[in-house]
Chain A
């Protein structure tokens, strides 16, 4: 069974600064995807970024990028130029071969003006 661990229950950052959210996972599978989802106070889960395990290159989506370390089973999310609208709960998720996502407990990120 897969496990996903987010060790930072809460984080805060000043507007325009950079913040990194941590995620580690455990699996015996060799082919899988990793995701970061964002859940703002409106509760709608939105995909932020995804990474295929077989790709060496780290994924990037505008201000969001990941640092994927496959051997260390680490998948951190970096948010650059933080904006007030980035305030949300962020979930790291693992997608393997069993048709489900396994989520971490989440990190509540607050962006302060």
Chain B
């Protein structure tokens, strides 16, 4: 069974631009979560989707948004990029409706904002 895939793997943008990252969960997984990883802040939760509904959102500005499609694939969008948005963005999928289940992570998208 294929793992969580994220595209693109690497991305370079300039301040003020917007970016869309994509995540395909493991087949059969309906929950998708997004995390931002930086050296200073560590791993921070962005949002979680299940069956196209956002169930929880982290403490990030409105420039960060996401959505989930009927096939469980998810995208996150960051508008008006700032230097501080440079990070590794990790997507994770989970089988169950419960938050207690193991999350399987993708390889991440490395975003660099110049």
Interface residues of A (CB under 8 A from B): 31-33, 35, 37, 42-47, 50, 52, 91, 95-106
Contact = CB atoms under 8 A, between A and B. Distances in A.
Nearest to A6: B42
Given A95-B100, A97-B99, A99-B99, 5 more contacts: A31-B100, A44-B107, A45-B92, A98-B56, A99-B48
Contacts of B88: 43
Closest 10 CB pairs of A and B: A45-B105, A103-B43, A99-B99, A100-B45, A99-B48, A99-B56, A33-B100, A99-B55, A105-B42, A44-B107
A32 B105 contact: no
Interface residues of B, number: 24
Interface of B: 31, 33, 35, 42-43, 45, 48, 50, 55-56, 58, 88, 90, 92, 99-108
